[in-house]
Amino acid sequence: MYQSFKDFLQDELDGIREAGLYKNERIIVSPQEAVIRLKDGRQVLNFCANNYLGLSNHPALIEAAGNALRERGYGMSSVRFICGTQDLHKDLEAAIARFFGTEDTILYAACFDANGGVFEPLLGEEDAIISDALNHASIIDGVRLCKAQRYRYANADMDDLEKQLQAAQAQRYRLIVTDGVFSMDGNVAPLDRIYALANQYNAMVMVDESHSAGVVGATGKGVTEQYNLRGKIEIITGTLGKAFGGAIGGFTTGKKEIIQLLRQRSRPYLFSNSLPPMVVAAGIRAFQLMEASTLLQDKLHQNTAYFIERMGQSGFDIKPTQSAICAVMLYDARLAQEMAAKLLDEGIYVTGFYYPVVPQGKARIRVQVSAGHEKEHLDSCIAAFAKIGKELKVIPA
């Protein structure tokens, strides 16, 4: 049978290539940080990692991970409830709850698993999930695994959310679900208005803080800090794979009864391995750093503000952002691809995004600013954008 299946797969792959959607992976041979080395020998400035606080190769995290590796070993060889829980896991769960001002936390192998395992144990057929149309794929998949009735509202559109809430009034329990920061535009979900509508229409709220935690809010504690809603949101999910060290791991944090039930019934928690001690220890260290000072968060905010101001002065069209995601709008897919390639030749590593990742005619280059960037890195990036922007007539010469 495989011969015919192989032909079928080859056709699929050819189709992806012909549509210009085939994803190639660039090989990096250095640690993840502001300056990275590629396998072809090039050294480039990295502006496309989710390394928002510059912790991916931070000495304090490496030391914590190294100590835990020596003292607590490499792997746990178990799920949490059999023999996979060390004191470190409990400490990290407590640190995450302190950071978000929540009651309890449950760790997962990734936020993909946190979102995959959050809906099905909590809600049933008689309930409703009301989800933003631009929510992350893992939320969409998690919702698919749950029998609750599904409602969708246009991205951050509060009139539409209200309509969906009205339509969902017959259901028993209602849960509104949103990303904290949407990864293509960098816009923050209007959580103040979502929360008000939730109260008005008797619903609960879940926020995925993957792109917002460590970034958004006066001290980087996420969208609940930005909107003064700490401790008021029932469910928050997030990742250790972005601002908090960038290794691996996810979590759900919130009301303690919710977390307790997830420990009993959430399938990616019950049937998947426990996080390795070194990752957990480095995670604890990341939260200690953020508790001790807001140096990294402040630097990220300064870097982002500086980058946006200078790029605007150069004449680039930057989507309004409240996060560290800066969408440089080019509108044309080919232009976005060409510009990203030319920027790489200038030593700036950024990614072009175009349909179907973003709407047709809304192609862009996404720049992700980090606390790991120094001023000279930002200046080099801005200068390269200006040079190539003029060359490609994106900005006036």
Ligand X SMILES: *Cc1c(COP(=O)(O)O)cnc(C)c1O
- Tell me the per-residue interface mask from 137 to 176 with ligand X, x by CB under 6 A, - otherwise: -x--------------------------------------
Active site residue 183: yes
313: closest CA among 202, 230, 396?
396
Alpha-carbon Rg for the chain in angstroms = 22
Q: Which of 58, 80, 89, 211 is in the footprint of ligand X by CB under 6 A?
A: 211
Instruction: Identify which of residues 110 and 348 has a Cβ nearer to ligand X in the complex.
Output: 110
Q: Which of 185, 208, 225, 234 is in the footprint of ligand X by CB under 6 A?
A: 208
- Tell me the per-residue interface mask from 355 to 384 with ligand X, x by CB under 6 A, - otherwise: ------------------------------
- 210 is an interface residue for ligand X by CB under 6 A: yes
- 112 is an interface residue for ligand X by CB under 6 A: yes
Instruction: Identify which of residues 113 and 234 has a Cβ nearer to ligand X in the complex.
Output: 113
- 120 is an interface residue for ligand X by CB under 6 A: no
Q: Is 169 exposed, middle or buried (0-12, 13-18, 19+ CB in 10 A)?
A: exposed
Stretch that binds ligand X, among 80-88, 105-113, 219-227, 290-298 (CB under 6 A): 105-113
Distance between CA 200 and CA 45 in Å, rounded? Answer: 48
The β-bridge relationship of strands 149-153 and 128-132 is parallel
Q: Is the dihedral of CA 54, 60, 65, 66 positive or negative?
A: positive
- 110 is an interface residue for ligand X by CB under 6 A: yes
Report the phi/psi class of residue 20: left, alpha or beta, with left for phi > 0 and alpha for psi in -120 to 50: left
Cα separation values, 39 from 29, 34, 35, 352, Å: 6, 16, 13, 21
Catalytic residue, candidates 136, 211, 221, 301: 211
Stretch that binds ligand X, among 16-24, 185-193, 206-214, 253-261 (CB under 6 A): 206-214
Shortest Cβ distance from residue 304 to ligand X (Å)?
A: 17
Active site residue 211: yes
Instruction: Identify which of residues 237 and 303 has a Cβ nearer to ligand X in the complex.
Output: 237
Q: Which of 104, 127, 132, 179 is in the footprint of ligand X by CB under 6 A?
A: 179
Catalytic residue, candidates 183, 272, 274, 323: 183
- 250 is an interface residue for ligand X by CB under 6 A: yes
Active site residue 89: no
Applying CB under 6 A, the site for ligand X has a residue count of: 14
- 185 is an interface residue for ligand X by CB under 6 A: no
Q: Which of 46, 102, 178, 183 is in the footprint of ligand X by CB under 6 A?
A: 183
Instruction: Identify which of residues 171 and 183 has a Cβ nearer to ligand X in the complex.
Output: 183
Q: Which of 217, 241, 352, 389 is in the footprint of ligand X by CB under 6 A?
A: 241
Instruction: Identify which of residues 183 and 272 has a Cβ nearer to ligand X in the complex.
Output: 183
The token pair that represents 362 in the structure block? 């809304």
Q: Nearest 5°: CA angle at 70, between 68 and 74?
A: 75
Q: Which of 149, 239, 266, 323 is in the footprint of ligand X by CB under 6 A?
A: 239
Distance between CA 61 and CA 297 in Å, rounded? Answer: 16
Instruction: Identify which of residues 241 and 389 has a Cβ nearer to ligand X in the complex.
Output: 241
Distance between CA 136 and CA 177 in Å, rounded? Answer: 10
Q: Is 94 exposed, middle or buried (0-12, 13-18, 19+ CB in 10 A)?
A: middle
Binding site for ligand X (CB under 6 A): 110-112, 115, 136, 138, 179, 183, 208, 210-211, 239, 241, 250
> Catalytic residue positions?
183, 211, 242
